[in-house]
Amino acid sequence: MLNRRFTLYAWGVVAFTLLVILWGDVVQATGSGDGCGAHWPTCNGEVLPAFRGLETQIEFFHRLTSGLSFLLVVGLLLWSRRAFPKGHLVRLGAGLSLFFMVAESLLGAALVLFRLVGEDASPARAVVAPVHLINTLFLMGSLALTAWWSAHPEARPVWRGQGPVGWALGLGFLGILAVAASGALTSLGDALFPVRSTAEAVGRALSPGEHFLVHLRIYHPFIAVFVGAYAVLVANLVAALRSSHHTRLFARAVGVLFVLQLAVGYLNVQQAAPLYTQLPHLLLSDLVWLSWVLLAVSALSQVGYPAPPRAASASEAR
C-alpha cells in the first residue's frame, strides 16, 4: 500500500511539473521573463512584490509554482529513501530528478540574473534556451521513470546485447532532443520576431540581413517531420522485436502523439504561433518524450539476443 501511494504521488509530481513547464512557455511568449527585474529569488527585490503589471504577476506565479515543484521533488527523494531499499531503481530516478531540478533552477536563475529575458536576442540566450529545454526533458524523464519503477521494479534497462534495437532507440533519443532544441530556438524567434503569416515567416527567413533566429526557425518543421517518421517506424519495429504489453502500448503512444504533434505544429505555423497552439504543441512534445523514454525502458529491460543452445557433448549424449 505504501508503494502504491508513492506511485500516485510520483505521477502527481510529473503532472504538476508538466503544468509548471507549460506556464514557463506562457512567460516567454508574453515577454514576462523580466517581470521581476534582474532579481532572483526575490521579485523586484521583494519577497512579496507589488503587482504593478501583468508581466510581474505572470513571472511571480511561475516562480511560486516552480518553487513548489522543487519541494515536491525533494519530498519524492526523501520518500524514496524511506520506502525503497538501497540500490533500488526508484532511488536512482528520484536522485536524478532532484539533480535536474537543481540544474533547472540554476538555468532559470541565470536567465534572470544575466537579463536573458524579455526582448533580449543575444547569442547567449539562443544557447541557454535549448539547453534549458533539454534539461527539462531529462527532468521529466527522470520523474516519469521514478514513478514507473516504483510500480515496475523489474524494468531494469540493459543496453549491452541489444544489438540494432539499442542503437535505434539511442538514435531516437538524439533525434527527439534535436527536435526539442530546434523547437526552442523557433519558439524564441517567434516570441522576439513575430510574424502574421507563414509566407511572411518564410520570406523573412530567406532574406539576407535578418537576425539569425529568424533564419534558424525555418528548419524546425523539416527536422520534426524527419525525426517523427523515424520515431514512428522504429517504435513499431521495437514493439515487434521486443513484444510485450507495455512495448506495444508505448509504441502506439509514440505514433499517435507524434502525428498529433506534427498536426498541431502545422497549425502553429499556419496561425503564426499564437499561444493557444504553442501550449498544446509543447505539451505533445513532452508527452512524446515521456512515451519514448518508457518505450525504451520497457524494451531494454527484456533479453536482447539469447545465446544459441549449446551442442551436447558425447558424454552428455550417452
The SS3 assignment for 157 reads coil
- Rounded to two decimals, the pTM is 0.89
- Alpha-carbon distance of 176 to 47, in angstroms, equals 38
Instruction: State the pLDDT confidence band at 160, using cuts at 50, 70 and 90.
Output: confident
**Chain mean pLDDT for the chain:** 89
Quick: pLDDT tens for 246-276.
Answer: 999 999 999 999 999 999 998 988 887 788 8
Residue 69's pLDDT band (cuts 50, 70, 90): very high
- CB-count burial class (<10 Å; 0-12, 13-18, 19+) for 275: exposed
Confidence label for 92 from pLDDT (cuts 50, 70 and 90): very high
Amino acid at 149: W
Percent of the chain at pLDDT exceeding 70? 94
| Residue with the three cell numbers 505539451 | 283
H or E, element range at 289: helix 275-300
Of the two residues 14 and 187, the one the predictor is more confident about is: 14
pLDDT tens for 230-243 read 999 999 999 999 99
Return d(Cα 62, Cα 68) in angstroms, integer: 10
Q: Tell me: cis bond preceding 274? Omega within 30 of 0 counts.
A: no
Whether 38 has a pLDDT exceeding 90, the answer reads no
Q: Where along the chain do its domains lie?
A: 1-153, 157-304
Specify the higher pLDDT residue, 34 or 308. 34
Counting residues of the chain whose pLDDT is more than 90, the rounded percentage is: 59
pLDDT of residue 273: 76
